[in-house]
Structure 1
Amino acid sequence: MESEAFCSTGCNLSMTNEFESSSMLHKHNEWHKLIVEKGSEIVNILKSVSFELHVQEPFFTQLKDGLKTIEGRCASGKYNRIELGNRILLNKSLVFEVQGLKWYPSFFDMLETECLGKVLPGVESVEEGVKIYRRFYTEEKEQTNGVLAITVSKLPVQPYTSLASLLSGLSFEGVQGLLGLMHTTGTIPNALPPPRSTLLASFNSPCNPNVHVMINIQENALTHGARALAKHACRSSSGYWGSLVGNDSNKNRLAVDVINKLIAHCCWMNIHTVPPHGVVFEIRVADGYGARWSEDGCKSHTFMMVTQRDGSISSANPTAQTIAVSFTYEIEYRFFLLACGEL
């Protein structure tokens, strides 16, 4: 956001430029303007925040909905530094402004003086309210420091509203570009990549889960990734994949090193159709080596393929070898929206 620029994250420019067109450059310019505008809004709001607090449910939702307008805290530590006009980020999603501050010797005094419904909506008595605060603060800490009644109001402009406008304006194509996904023949227009955790979990899943369950010894169960690497490591004349030797545990470890290296140095990503295998998610490094996961996870296949830099398959280019690994996994991509249920 702070760079105020649209960039295809991790993409190798020499590879990217071959796919650029005047139409795509125009889109990039429009996306750049949108990121500058909405990104600046988000950055400016967050830069104005003086404090971050965490509020448990149901009180956070009550604050979000405007039912709760007073937050009670023990008057110690950072809470003593809060001043009128300060902006507070609650639960890393909503920004409030401090409208009032009052000190009380105890939560009982605070609840008795302030409107109970504004401090703890739904709580029927002061005594019940004191019991709620006792979950968070001991009586000794309360008596030593006193308590603060912090009156807050939600800002009309929130980070998530700007983020929602940004993502809506970018659309799938723009978000794909922002994440560094390529657009080639066969690219799926409305697809986003699975998270790294899902890719690694699938890569490290045992080839035979039934055997794995029976023996319950993970290090002795060959993983899908290790099995794929075992098939193709010896086929690289350059020795790029290394030597896969030893027992299954050692092969699994070597395979993890390889996939982590590919992910760390990835400069090309695509979600595209590759006949006859269907839709795949593919990553590559600058040398052309890479890994591939199936989108639906219905088939498990491993093979060596040779590619052109435009993404097409060609047997005439032996220098750009790609190890392809696919196995069962469930795409669980989560693009974090700080929408708090309002989008």
Structure 2
Amino acid sequence: MLSRDILINLSTTPQCIGLEEQSSASDERQKLRTALLSSNSEPESDDSAQISLILSTPLSIHLAHGLAYTVGSALGSTPPSVEECLAAFTTPNKVQLTAGARAWSKHAHRSLVHIEETSSGPSMSNPSPFEPSEDSVQSADAMKTRTKQKNHASTIPTGWWGTPSGPVSTINEKALILFWKIIATVTWRNLHWLPHSVLVYEIRVKDGYGMRWSQDQSSDRSKRRDSESSNDNNSSKEIVGEVKGTLSGNVEPPWVFRGFVEPMMENGHERGWRHAP
């Protein structure tokens, strides 16, 4: 039977500020949906075989997973499940700080309003977004204002990411809340390749904030090529059953949490990908 998840994926258009799909993406999505519905409604037909055939191309596999279709999309690859993403996100280090919490601690300042920010862009002279530069404290009034802000820290805007603070357990808990916040509001998902056969899964909310995971396929990809032709049928059937593109019996390399991402912006690298909310 045709999976309801596939139909939902094909009825939803990925959206993200600053990112665009191929011009043919909507048409390709509609064509695939129409073909699947037509095959599923034909009387006395082996709809499973028909659907498997329709979902056997790299593009159809990609679209069936609800992924954005862009110039750099890794067509035919399979994204990780939410469970796999969560497992990678919550992997602890030696001090029990999870991968997600550690990345958050390093990334959170990028959406904070910098004290020295002007119309020409944020100043990078002060490496700590939580402390003002010496030049910014110019009077007794300024010092009083700073003291008042510290006493009422809960009312200070903390940017899109919030501020990681407290013991390790608290930072882990807050990072997990952030994970589910993005998962619950995601509007853009895509797969693309990095050099050396590293597959990257990226998800974003409409405003552009998001997360990335990576899967190192450098040692596994050559084996896939050798077995690909003999396992095409098995691969198609798995897509229909569970929206999965993996080969039967093939052990996938683990997914690793790669970090958080900022909205696309002009001169992003030069500005350190810092955004004011």
Q: TM-score range by the shorter chain?
A: 0.5 to 0.7
- Residue 169 of structure 1 corresponds to 54
- Residue 69 of structure 2 corresponds to 183
> Aligned partners of 1:288, 1:275: CA distance in 2, in Å?
24
Alpha-carbon offset, residue 33 of structure 1: 1.9
Alpha-carbon offset, residue 299 of structure 1: 7.5
Residues matched between the structures, number: 189
Quick check: 2:89–2:98 contact (8 Å CA) kept in 1?
Answer: yes
- Residue 89 of structure 2 corresponds to 203
Alpha-carbon offset, residue 172 of structure 1: 3.3
Alignment of 1:79-94 (within 5 A): none
Alpha-carbon offset, residue 302 of structure 1: 4.6
Quick check: 1:176–1:192 contact (8 Å CA) kept in 2?
Answer: yes
Alpha-carbon offset, residue 316 of structure 1: 7.2
Distance 1:10 1:247, change over 3 A: farther
Q: Secondary structure at the match of 2:186?
A: coil
Structure 1 residue 35 and structure 2 residue 32: aligned?
A: no
- Residue 147 of structure 1 corresponds to none
Question: How well do the aligned residues superpose, as a CA RMSD in angstroms?
Answer: 3.7
Give the TM-score normalised by structure 1: 0.46
Quick check: 1:282–1:290 contact (8 Å CA) kept in 2?
Answer: yes
Distance 1:318 1:174, change over 3 A: farther
Give the TM-score normalised by structure 2: 0.56
Q: Unpaired runs of 5+ in structure 2?
A: 114-158, 217-253
Work out the percentage of aligned pairs sharing the same amino acid: 31
> Aligned partners of 1:189, 1:270: CA distance in 2, in Å?
10
> Aligned partners of 2:71, 2:274: CA distance in 1, in Å?
19
Alpha-carbon offset, residue 313 of structure 1: 8.7
- Residue 280 of structure 1 corresponds to 200
> Aligned partners of 2:78, 2:267: CA distance in 1, in Å?
23
- Amino acid corresponding to residue 202 of structure 2 in structure 1: E
Quick check: 2:191–2:199 contact (8 Å CA) kept in 1?
Answer: yes
- Residue 307 of structure 1 corresponds to 264
Distance 1:316 1:302, change over 3 A: same
Structure 1 residue 232 and structure 2 residue 107: aligned?
A: yes
Write 1 or 2 for the structure with the bigger share of strand. Answer: 1
Deviating 4+ runs (over 6 angstroms): 1-6, 13-16, 316-321
> Aligned partners of 2:207, 2:59: CA distance in 1, in Å?
26
Structure 1 residue 251 and structure 2 residue 171: aligned?
A: yes
Q: Secondary structure at the match of 1:267?
A: strand
Alpha-carbon offset, residue 277 of structure 1: 9.2
Structure 1 residue 19 and structure 2 residue 21: aligned?
A: yes
